[in-house]
Copies of this chain bind each other. A is one copy, B any other.
Amino acid sequence: MKNDKCTVLNFTERLGGKWKLPIINAIRKNETLRFGKIHQIVDGISRKVLTEQLKALEYDVLIIRRQYEEIPPRVEYSLTNKSRGLCEVFQAIDKWSRIEDK
């Protein structure tokens, strides 16, 4: 299971798709974030899709959802140890984005 082929496939099965990485990246840069703020930062995502993706990420232990019993209730999302470890992946993506297409 630890050869590169499986590693990349495991990654894309877990984090593939358009939204999960941008959502994690938004939370990462703010430590904790509320739903409305994530919705504002992640460009073009609908509230419905964001709700689904947050649930999937929470289920997969890549984000933590904390609800504070206030009126109105406040919900904040933060990263887990595993998703905080994506820092280097984001750095590599950022570097890659600056390579010219030709």
Q: Is A72 an interface residue (CB 8 A)?
A: no
Copies of this protein in the assembly total 2
Interfacial chain B residues near A88, Cβ < 8 Å? 92, 95-96
A81 and B2 alpha carbons, distance in the complex (Å): 27
Main secondary structure of the interface of A (DSSP, over half): helix
Interfacial chain B residues near A82, Cβ < 8 Å? 99-102
The size of the chain A interface, using a CB distance under 8 A, is: 45
A10 and B2 alpha carbons, distance in the complex (Å): 28
Q: Is A18 an interface residue (CB 8 A)?
A: yes
Which A residues are closer than 8 A to B by beta carbons? 2, 4-13, 16-22, 25-26, 29, 41-44, 61, 80-82, 85-86, 88-97, 99-102
